[in-house]
Every structure is written in C-alpha cells, then in structure tokens.
A and B are shown apart, each in its own frame.
Chain A
Amino acid sequence: MKPATEPDSPARSKVQMILRVNGESHDVAFVPHKTLLEVLREDMRLTGTKHGCELGECGTCTILVDGVPRLSCLMLGLESDGHDIRTIEGMAGACGAHPLQTAFAELGAAQCGYCTPGFLLAAEAVLARDPTPSRATLVEELGGNLCRCTGYLKIYEAIELAAARMQKGTPDA
C-alpha cells in the first residue's frame, strides 16, 4: 500500500535552479524528487507538456533537451541543469504557428489532442536532422509516441506536408 504522506526527510527542502526553457532563463525552486514534467507543469505553469503514463510507455510528455526528444516524466528537474529545454509553448514563432502545427490542424492530425505536443516536438527534431524524411524514417523516429485517436496516418501526412512547405519556404500556404 502506498503511504498517504511521505515520511519526513531532509530531501524535502527545495532547491533553487535556473532552468533554460524555450530560450529564456527561469529561476525555479522545487524539491529534488520532482520530475521535469512536474516542474514544468506545476512550478512553471507550462501545462502544454502532457502527463500520461508517467512510466515511459506513451511519449506524450516528450520535450526536446538540446534538440533531442526525451521523456520529461522519467527525467528529474535537477537533470535539466545546463541544458536547453524546449516545450510546445516555444514552438510557435513571432509570425504565428509553426508549419507543423498548421499542417496538423489542417489535416486532422490532432483529434483529442493529448498526444499532439509530444508528436509535434518529436517531428520537429526529425525535420531538424532530415528535412525530407522518408515514411519509414517517420515511423521509426515517432515509434515512441502513441496516439489512440488518429491511427497515425494523418500524423505522418501532416509532417510530410509541413516538410514539403518548409522546403519551398512557404510555411503555411
């Protein structure tokens, strides 16, 4: 049985840290055992990163750490020290939605939307490395993100559409 309250422990005192999230530095205080997912959502109010299985099985908590997709549910807030964190809140630029976001909306690649932030960031990381990924690459690279609504095809098609538009330099036309 789970205890209703945590036993007393010196580990409960908060640590103060500078977190670099979406290009800005934030001064945040949190207890050492908080996951980065909890720090983002609870201490920084960045609730775009979704909270799913919390065990590494669904990928909805995916964020980018130095450009690489990682699971924020299995990473401690403390471990983000010195790294560049990117969440879905940082995806849209000054001129509006990212081409991936536009394409997801247009093609119905988001239904309930719970998996969408994770897919968008994982897809952004794929396109950063390979601007014209094959379908096989997308299937492989997005294998850690589960979607219970779309059946995945719409997601792959939206990423391919965004990739084509980004190649042509016409983000959302």
Chain B
Amino acid sequence: MKAFKFLRARTCGEAAQLLAKNADARVHAGGTDLLGRMKERLDTSDVLVSLCDAAGLDQIRVETDGSIWIGARVTLAELAASEACRTFLPTLAEAAGLAASPQLRQRATIAGNLAQQTRCHYFRLATFPCWKRGDDACPVKEAGGVQDTAGIFDGACVSAHPSSVAPVLGSLDAEITVRDAKGPRPVPFDAFWAAPKPGIATDTILGAGDVIEAIRIPPRAAKQYMGYAEVRQKAAFDWALVSCAVRYEIVEGAMHDVRVWFGSVAPAPWRARLAEAALQGGACTDEAAAKAADAALAEARPVAGAAYKEHLARVALRRALADAREGAK
C-alpha cells in the first residue's frame, strides 16, 4: 500500500484542524473503501486523519425535538441493531443490515458509506483508462456484456454511486453536518452530491478540509410510511443492482409528502422527482407504482449493458411502495 502518516483525531473538531494543517490529507473511518483504493494507488495521500478514536461520533441519539442524531462513525452493524433506528427509521436499519457482509458492517461507517467512491470495475483498476480519473476514454461505453456497476441516469459518467443506504437517508430528508476548521454547517441531502466532472473521483461536495460530523434525521408530526427494496443477484453478501427507498404520509387516504430515491442507478443517489409528483395525492397501489416508474424512467439514458436496470428499477419501486403500504414497519 501507499505509505502514509496516520494521525488520530480525538474529536471531530480536532480532525477538522488536522485536515486544515495537512493539505493532502484524507479522512479515515472504517477504511473499507479508502484502503482498497490506496492499495490500487487510486488515492495517494500522504496523511490519513483517522476518526477511529474520535469521541462521541459513535452515538445514535433521539433528541428532545424528536430528531435523530447519528454520529459519523456509527457503523452499519450498529444501525442495523440500534433500537432507536429499528423503531423510528426501520428502512435505515434494514438497508444497513443487508449491506456487504457481517465483517464489513462491523467496520463500515455511515459517513464513509456516503463518501465512498464508485465501484465501477474500470474506475477501481488502475490498468484501465477512466474518464473519472482524467482519461479521455470510458471503457464502459464501449464494453459489451452486462454492466452491473453502471447507472441509467446522468450521462456524463455512466458509473453509479453504489450505496444502498444512501437512498434511504435521502427518503428520510437526512441533513448532513459537515465541519471544517471554521466550524460546523448543515448540508441538505440533495445538496451533498456533486455532478460528475472529468478527472474528479469524488461524488460529493466535501472539500479538502471537510469532515462529516453527523447525519440528522428531522422529526415528523404525522405517521410515516416507509419502504425499502433492493434487487440483487445473491441473497448473501452482494451489492444491490438497484435499490429504492420511499417515504410518505397518508392524508385522507392519499399519499402526501412523497419521497422516492433510487440507489445504484446514477453517479449520486437519485431522487426521482417525477415519480414523487406522479404519486403525490393518489392512493398507494401497484398501478400507481407502475405509472410513477414510467414517469421516473422517462429520463433514463442507459448504456446498452445497463439497460436491464430500467426493469429492475420498476420492480424495486413497486416492492418499496408495497413494503411501505403493508406497514410492516
């Protein structure tokens, strides 16, 4: 692996100070994504600022206003097991518990999950050219065969953000607290993602001095209907080919305040606003799901090898809405 200095931050504030002092530093949390990229020399930073000992960031708190505060270093295993999460944010507990493998969930943190980079097979192997790494060519666009890591929306880069947890956080209107040396600032979930640019590997607005401190889920007065579904090839230890998270309220039998987010279909978690609009004000039925899927997929522009994901997205949306409707959560 690339050699680096390893600095342990005792608090999130100290992490931000250390990042300000070390221009080429990276935040290290569970290391499940970062170390893999450093082994492949996709990231050649000289300094890691580690949150592995940072105090307080491993907590999940229900605040007095009913909002839920999730520290950056909370792991997927902790989310899946947390009583607060299972009770108030069941789709988050479910998606976290389905992700990766038991060993990985012990390490993988929620902040790292959002800031992880694409799993596009070509991006991850330095021997291939990659538009996201600054080359002219994109092998995915020329490759035949089935593309499991490609998306179907947003043509500039065909790779997909791989997180299955992120669409759930989107559906819950999560707010991300980002800290730099000057202090913390709230970033709405929609505003956290950056459009793909040539030669830029990251998919977020995080700058060199930024560290995620926490994820905050706002409180809700009305009962929430939440649903989650993912389509994948293997029952155990597999990435979702497409994931979908929905949330809504019911007012006089009709859906209101609808959120529809997809994962693994675009360079960032994908909010299907057209699907939300189609569902808004109607009953939650399979027919409504089909119409909403038509609306969402009108914008799809897949490469040939990922066209099958359009069908998977329909299936995932129908299942996520059924999951919410059944109120099993």
| Residues in A lying within 8 Å of B, measured CB to CB | 1-3, 6-7, 9-12, 31-35, 54-56, 59, 62, 68-71, 74-76, 78-79, 122, 139-141, 143-146
Set of chain A residues within 8 Å of B101, measured between Cβ atoms: 56, 59, 143-145
Q: Which one, A11, A35, A54, A75, contacts B5 given CB within 8 A? A: A11
B39 within 8 A of A: yes
Set of chain B residues within 8 Å of A59, measured between Cβ atoms: 101, 103
Whole-angstrom CA separation of A79 from B126 in the bound complex: 27
Q: Which one, B6, B31, B102, B126, contacts A143 given CB within 8 A? A: B102
Contact at A62–B103, with CB atoms within 8 Å?
A: yes
Set of chain A residues within 8 Å of B100, measured between Cβ atoms: 56, 144
Contact at A143–B4, with CB atoms within 8 Å?
A: no
What are 7 A-B pairs at a CB distance below 8 A? A9-B3, A33-B1, A33-B2, A35-B35, A55-B39, A76-B31, A143-B236
CB distance from A99 to the nearest CB of B (A): 22
Q: Which one, A6, A139, A140, contacts B2 given CB within 8 A? A: A6
Contact at A9–B6, with CB atoms within 8 Å?
A: no
Complex: chain A residue closest to B52, CB-CB: A79
Set of chain A residues within 8 Å of B2, measured between Cβ atoms: 6, 33
Set of chain A residues within 8 Å of B63, measured between Cβ atoms: none
Contact at B3–A6, with CB atoms within 8 Å?
A: yes
Q: What is the predominant secondary structure among interface residues of chain B facing chain A? A: loop
Set of chain B residues within 8 Å of A143, measured between Cβ atoms: 101-102, 236-237
Whole-angstrom CA separation of A114 from B12 in the bound complex: 40
| Residues in B lying within 8 Å of A, measured CB to CB | 1-6, 30-32, 35-36, 38-39, 41, 46-47, 50, 52, 100-104, 106-107, 126-127, 236-237
With A35-B1, A56-B104, A70-B107 already in contact, the answer to whether A140 and B236 are too (CB < 8 A) is: yes
Set of chain A residues within 8 Å of B52, measured between Cβ atoms: 79
Contact at B107–A71, with CB atoms within 8 Å?
A: yes
Most buried by B among A55, A62, A145: A55
Most buried by A among B4, B38, B50, B102: B102
Contact at A54–B103, with CB atoms within 8 Å?
A: no
Contact at A69–B106, with CB atoms within 8 Å?
A: yes
Contact at B4–A55, with CB atoms within 8 Å?
A: no
Q: Which one, B3, B32, B46, B50, contacts A56 given CB within 8 A? A: B32
Contact at B35–A2, with CB atoms within 8 Å?
A: no
Set of chain B residues within 8 Å of A70, measured between Cβ atoms: 103, 106-107
Set of chain B residues within 8 Å of A68, measured between Cβ atoms: 106
Set of chain A residues within 8 Å of B39, measured between Cβ atoms: 54-55
CB distance from B39 to the nearest CB of A (A): 6
CB distance from B13 to the nearest CB of A (A): 21
Name 4 extra pairs, CB < 8 A, besides A33-B4, A144-B103: A9-B5, A9-B46, A33-B3, A76-B31
Whole-angstrom CA separation of A31 from B3 in the bound complex: 8
Q: Which 7 A-B pairs have the closest CB atoms?
A: A144-B101, A143-B236, A11-B5, A11-B3, A32-B6, A144-B103, A55-B36
Set of chain B residues within 8 Å of A141, measured between Cβ atoms: 102
